[in-house]
Amino acid sequence: MRGHETHHAEGNHLTLSVDRRDNEDGSCALAITVSPGNVEQHVQRVYQRHARSLELPGFRRGKVPRALLERHLPREKAQEEAIGILVEEGYEQALKQTGIEPLQDAELEKAELQADGSLAIQLKVVPRPQVVLGEYKGLVQSVEKLQVGDDQIEAELQRLREQHADWAATDKPAAPADLVIVDYRLEVDGKAVEGQATERYPCLLGSDKLFPELNEILRGTHVGDERRTPKQLPPDPGRDESAAREGELVVTVREVRRHVVPPLDDAFAQRAAGGESLAALQATIKERLERMAEADFRARTIEQLVSAAVNNAKVELPARAVEEIVEGRSAQVRKELEERGSTLERYLEQEGLTLEQLRRNIEAQVRADLKRRMVLDAIGRQEGIEVTSSDVVEQAAAVAMAQGLTAAGARRLLRSRSHLRRVVNLTYLRKVEQFLFEHAAAPAASEK
């Protein structure tokens, strides 16, 4: 144990005492005792709340006699409900009394009624560690912005041409990348094998995986050509021989199609972009690529500035918090592998890792993520950065768009306390990152 202190309070909410003990792993044990009067008061509130909603034949809502009410809600159930409320209220009040700012959700170890009617609550909480900030304003950004030139615009135009290309019939000899439509059948001793024939099979010449031999024998063919190639067939269950049979794959070419990209002209631009001329399409592409370059520059600059601010800061991460997050992520890795039909053992073998190495890798990432979050939070507190409701709505819309949700879906998610808390935290961190970006220093002329 690193320390111990006891608090007593009779506030506007609860009469309780709090015993705090600091542990070596950075966590704190909170022993909270809520007075018998508060416990009974909350039990009665539970009954009052249920009485307002309970409907029984012959009684108006809210007028059900207490004896009947207690038949529908035994005292033990009312106490359980009251205890759940008292744990939340007691925890919040204990945090205020002790001055603890929790790093993550507390772990409830016990909540039991005592012989004298009081409620004993035991919680384990990890306080937010102290962060000693280093330099974080005026950091020199050294990221170069990608310049959009003719080559990038040309490459995007070529991509669009490929996207709008057609498979046109050709009378030229079949060549790799052509689409050759064929009929095929399997023959043994000159007779077709029943059930082993298909019409209009599409073979992408040079890439066919089902019949790789077609990639060679169809080169140079024209419509109407027939090609034969040896083909080994599986044993016939109706015959005594157990060896595979030798047969032939007989292929007849029905069509040869070539991937034809449209010419780079106004007609193509109208087809690809809905009414634009080629010059207008080029301007639109340039503008879009420049927006992407700006977003890329911003993201890489923020990452550089955040990394520098984190490296300049000092923070002692609580071992308890690190351990809990590592355990959670390790379990998540195992779960995701099982959902994909694999196992952790198979994954470790494929990656050439031991379980201990994987755990060390996860712990290193957890420590990096946790320190980053702690430092950004400390910067935000020092600079008085706050999150407004409009900030949260804007961030929620961005998250919803990334997840393919509608505006209504985003609003439904915000009704969840846990999701709302995540969005608020994300919004806060994004505002701190924006602060670092806005207060960065440009590189010196000699460094450009």
- Domain holding 209: CATH number? 3.10.50.40
Query: What mean pLDDT is predicted for residues 324-347?
Result: 92
Q: Is residue 124 part of a domain?
A: yes
Q: Are residues 65 and 119 in the same domain?
A: yes
Question: HSE of 428 in the Cβ direction (CA atoms, 13 Å)?
Answer: 20
Helix (H), strand (E) at residue 22:
strand 15-22
**What does the CA dihedral 211, 212, 215, 217 come to, rounded to 10 degrees?**
-70
Q: Is residue 309 part of a domain?
A: no
Tell me: pLDDT of 7 over 90: no
3-state secondary structure of 110: strand
pLDDT value of residue 74: 85
Tell me: pLDDT of 312 over 70: yes
In this structure, of 95-109, 156-170, 414-428, the range with the lowest mean pLDDT score is 414-428
Q: Are residues 84 and 13 in the same domain?
A: yes
Cβ contact 93:13 at 8 Å: yes
Q: Are residues 9 and 80 in the same domain?
A: yes
Nearest to 120 by CA among 94, 148, 172, 83: 83
Q: Is residue 201 part of a domain?
A: yes
Q: Are residues 124 and 171 in the same domain?
A: no
Q: Is residue 357 part of a domain?
A: no
What is the domain extent for residue 418? 386-448
Phi, psi of 424 (to 5 degrees): -60, -45
Read off the CATH number of the domain in which 83 is found.
Answer: 3.30.70.1050
Cβ contact 266:277 at 8 Å: yes
- Long-range contacts of residues 143-152, Cβ cutoff 8 Å, at least 24 apart: 143/297, 143/300, 143/301, 143/304, 144/297, 145/293, 145/294, 145/296, 145/297, 146/293, 146/296, 146/297, 147/293, 148/286, 148/289, 148/290, 148/293, 152/289
In the chain, the number of structural domains is 3
Q: Are residues 65 and 177 in the same domain?
A: no
Q: What is the DSSP string of 290-302?
A: HHHHHHHHHHHHH
Cβ contact 380:428 at 8 Å: yes
**pLDDT tens by residue, 228-279:** 999 877 666 655 555 567 889 999 999 999 999 899 888 888 888 776 789 9
Tell me: pLDDT of 5 over 80: no
pLDDT value of residue 1: 42
Query: What mean pLDDT is predicted for residues 343-358?
Result: 92
Q: Are residues 9 and 99 in the same domain?
A: yes
Q: Is residue 355 part of a domain?
A: no
Q: Are residues 8 and 106 in the same domain?
A: yes
Q: What gap in Å lies between CA 304 and CA 79, rounded to an integer?
A: 54
pLDDT value of residue 419: 73
**pLDDT tens by residue, 105-118:** 888 999 999 999 99
Last residue of a domain, one of 100, 128, 156: 128
Q: Is residue 316 part of a domain?
A: no
Cβ contact 293:147 at 8 Å: yes
Write the DSSP symbol of residue 179.
E
pLDDT value of residue 246: 83
Q: What percent of the chain has pLDDT over 70?
A: 88
Last residue of a domain, one of 225, 260, 295: 260
In this structure, of 6-10, 57-61, 366-370, the range with the lowest mean pLDDT score is 6-10
Tell me: pLDDT of 396 over 70: yes
**pLDDT tens by residue, 164-180:** 889 999 999 999 999 99
Q: What gap in Å lies between CA 439 and CA 139, rounded to an integer?
A: 8
Nearest to 80 by CA among 125, 47, 124: 47
**pLDDT tens by residue, 277-311:** 899 999 999 999 999 999 999 999 999 999 999 99
pLDDT value of residue 413: 65
**pTM, 2 dp:** 0.67
Q: Are residues 99 and 13 in the same domain?
A: yes
Last residue of a domain, one of 103, 128, 153: 128
pLDDT value of residue 206: 93
Q: Is residue 267 part of a domain?
A: no
pLDDT value of residue 418: 66
Q: Is residue 295 part of a domain?
A: no
Task: Write down the mean pLDDT value for the chain.
Answer: 87
Q: Are residues 218 and 123 in the same domain?
A: no
